[in-house]
Each structure stands twice: as C-alpha cells, then as structure tokens.
Amino acid sequence: MPRDSSGVYTVPAGTTAATKTLISSQAYNTFLTDIASAMTNSLNVQGTAAMQAVLNMGNFKISNMTDPASAQDAVTLNYLSNTFAPSAAKVNGWLGYTPANKAGDTFTGQVTVAPASAAGNIVLEKTALSGQSANVYGAYGATSRWGITLGDGTTEGGSNTGSNFGIVSFNDAGAAIGTVFSIVRATGAATFGYGLTISGGGLAVTGASNFATSLTAPTPASGDNSTNVATTAFVEAGVPTITAALAFGVPGSYAGASSGSAVIQPGSTVAGSTLLTYYSNTTTSGALSGTWRYMGSSNSNGAANGGAGQIYLRTI
C-alpha cells in the first residue's frame, strides 16, 4: 500500500517493529517491498526516468523553470512574454504583411476591392448632419491636387438638402483654387465653375427649363462671327450693324419684288428667277438669284395681285 489517493504513504499493516521484540522476516520483507514500490512510483528529482501518467499539479504552480530549448519543452511565462508579446514587427512577421490600422493609415501599394459576389463598394460614412464632408483626394506626395466631395458639409435639413457633390482643384502648394464642378443633391442642378468646352458629340438640352438664365453677354462688335454663345442683348445690338452691311441680293438681305400674276402666301419660298423687280419704272425679270421667302406686302392687296409692294428675304 505505497500511497493513498492523496499521495500519503502508509506502511503495511503488521510490519511495525516493537522494542526488544524479534522482527519477523516475512513482515520485514513485506515492508521493504512496499517501500521499494513507493520509491519507484515517486518523482525522481534526478530525472532518470520519465513520467508514466499525467502529472496533476493540484492547482499549484511549477516555479524556477528554465526557458524551453526543444519543441516539446514546457514554456515559461518569461519565454512566452518575450517571444509572443504583440508588437508591430512580430505581428507583421507572423502575417507576412503589414495590416492596416482602422483608425487611420497609409497604403504603400495598390488597393483593389474585388468581392467574389455582390458589389465592390467603398463607403465614406458621415456621422453628422452638418459640418462634415466625405472626400476622396488625389495628391502629389502629401500635397492635394484634386478633391472629390461625395457629400459636402452643407446641413441636411430635410427635403434632400445638403450633402452636395463637388470637384475641387488645388494649386501647387495644396491650397484650394475653387470648385470646378458641383451638383446640388436636392435638385440635380449642375454648375461648372470655370466654363465648359465640348470637344465632340454636341450638347443636348432637354426639359422645360431654359438653357441658361444668366449668360454674360459678349461685347457687340461688327463682324463678330465666333462660335461663342450669344445673349439676346448681344444679338439685338449686333443685328442692325450686320444687316446694314449686307449687300443687295445676298442671303439675309431684303428686296421689294413681285410674283407677277402668281398668288403667293406669306412664308412661302420661291426661286428668285421667277420674281419681277422694278427700277425707274422698268420691270426686270430674272434679276434675282437664289431662293427668297415672301415676308408680306407694303400695301393691302400686294399678295393678291402680285404688286410691287411685296417684300422678300433671301434665304439661300
């Protein structure tokens, strides 16, 4: 009976010696055999034999261990702390890459969003209804060149107001030059801050609204034939000058003529060769070329009788 379940050794019954009493060889041998068995099953401090069962520490610690050297050695707290304590260098080494910090970081390579399914979205989430914008910047080094605002800091006050779109340009020092293009979220109204050039495809304007209500009129000048958009004020100021310089018979000029006996209605076009012109009480036929539009008559019956009071506009 080497040890009980608590590890306490008790000598076998009948093997205890008495003073001045002969020791029985049988009891003595039983005692020695039991002692030998107990020692065999005890933990050898020299480490000459391996454990043959699980070592239960009974909620006690093992102290004064040395750091492990082999794969199956027990690990000390010192070794674990020094080897596996989190640090940027260690984490990067374990992962094989440098993880991004969700509180803010700088990527040194291309970032691609390519989910296996659904949309590959990048979401810039605003957390305030006013004074906060969602921006994407293009920069040279750390100096901004372009900024795209996917919701500016204008207050969201209901009815789809606020959080408008914009594209901003920056100078070489990184200071904002101005808003190149903007869209009001509530109305969809778009504004170009520095003009608009269309290189191809033309420009189509649809809807009931006018093309523009605040064009800046160019300075009226005689002979101006540029392709710039002109305001009504410019046209009204320039047409008298232009028409005054037109030669007789060219497109845009007017003539007093007659369709002869032919009845013609205002707005109709006729060949100039069919019209009669009058000069010094002399009637001339075929003096006009091109196509002419009948605009009306200077007398009450000119259209009906082909009188000389008819007025024509040269079209082509």
pLDDT (tens digit per residue) in 44-85:
777 788 888 888 888 989 899 999 999 999 999 998 888 877
Q: Extract long-range pairs of 155-159: CB within 8 Å, 24+ residues apart.
A: 155/129, 155/130, 155/131, 156/129, 156/130, 157/129, 159/186
- pTM of the full structure: 0.47
| Structure confidence at residue 13 (pLDDT) | 84
DSSP letter at 237 equals H
| Structure confidence at residue 302 (pLDDT) | 43
* Positions of the chain with pLDDT under 70: 1-2, 207-225, 227, 237-246, 278-286, 298-308
Q: Show the CA angle centred on residue 79, arms to residues 73 and 83, nearest 5°.
A: 115
Domain ranges of the chain: 1-80, 129-218, 254-314
| Structure confidence at residue 21 (pLDDT) | 86
| Structure confidence at residue 305 (pLDDT) | 44
Report the alpha-carbon distance of residue 128 to residue 71 in Å, rounded. 55
Report the alpha-carbon distance of residue 64 to residue 211 in Å, rounded. 88
Q: How many CA atoms lie within 13 A of 223 on its CB side?
A: 0
What are the E-state strand segments in 173-281?
Answer: 176-183, 190-192, 254-257, 269-271, 276-279
CA distance between the termini of the chain: 132
- In three-state secondary structure terms, 287 is coil
